[in-house]
Structure 1
Amino acid sequence: MKIDRVLDTDEKTPQELTLMAYERQKDEDKTKIVDDRAITCGNIEGWWMRTTLYIKEAQESTLCWLALPVHGNQAIIASILTTTEGWQRSGPAIMASLQSLVPLDPAMVLTQRIVGLDTASTLLSDLTQESLSPSIGQSNWRQIQQYQGEQVRPIDIGYAHITSRIGTISEIGTSSGNQEEKGLLVEVRSRIVPNQETKIVTDTVGYYWMSFDGKEE
């Protein structure tokens, strides 16, 4: 599956956009439209087209396009190339995946990013040893889980112990900055057995440090 954004649709409808995509690929003798209809993704109406496609020295294939309008005279076009056998096997899952697409308003996304940056800047500017004090002296255990095969629920494969304290950057083996500057030091120790057949145990230790003003890490 490939998803592209059309920055200027020139006021073309989703149906016209899928037809344009088809025209670029069609071969009069080897391409045939088998499904051509309106489709709804969430509350947005787009257009869907599926064709059969013959590729030399390859299996009979299926080429599909989905076009969805986006605010600002833009559009999203999803294209899918698979074998006919693959489509027969996975077509319903592919359609369900496509119909879960939610096109976002580019202006809204940009606004949200700006707000996020402003919020992050405010948070960093307010960092002090006092504001970080609730995070100092923590000691927590966490389960590590993993989905295996077609399991509906994850299984436990290990655990992690997370602690935090006041420390210096020199304690994590980094030579940059003021070696004796104090900050928040977090230590993560984990043990996992990712493969239940081999039973190989993997132990890891990670150290993370940040100055109390958030300017060094």
Structure 2
Amino acid sequence: MSLEPARRPTLSTEVLGTLRRQITAGEWPVGTRIPPEPELMRQLQVARGTVREAVRALAHAGLLEVRQGDGTYVRATSELSGAVQRLYADQASTELLEVRAALEGQAAHLAATRATDKDLAALTATLERRAEAWTAKDFEGWLAADWEFHTRIVDAAGNALLAELYRNLAEPLRASMSEFWELPGFDGADPAGHEDLVAALRGRDPAAAARQADANINATAEWRGFAG
């Protein structure tokens, strides 16, 4: 059986790979504008058409967003995350919360037996920062701490694939919470639910941890008006 000669990737494919690595490594964070074409051409030592072809492919994959007259911005750090954002751009889908509930429930169940004392201490510290940010009316700080709390639980589950899937929901989930600051009666400093979840983890009770994670998602659904 003969083998076909190995083929070198095209220049545009190499440039695409370089840009993609910049994005996935976080060198260009989500929401930031990437260097303009002339700068990319200079750094990569390629022609304008090669840069445009690579950017076009990454935009089609959902990693970049080209804004006419403004520039090109990082939209997502993976193709899956970009696809989720395209599907749920309205930020108002029960399906997104249902998937989040499935992932967080399983993560809490696993973390109840796998979380270390260091994990539990970090979760408590994160909740303290969350409450402090809310009191200081620092919504970005509150949102960052809240998201960190949930991702720490997912990480404590000790399942790399579960963590990767969860992080691909990061941007649409964070965006869906952007309006919470204005909701009447919403108290982002209230530790109820979150502290109960940590207590279940400390008690090494997988069933209770999963139930509390589910209850937290249901509470979010009610605030967003999804329950019914």
TM-score (norm 2): 0.23
More helix by percentage = 2
TM-score (norm 1): 0.24
- With CA pairs under 8 Å and 6+ residues apart, which has the higher RCO, 1 or 2? 2
Largest Rg, 1 or 2: 1
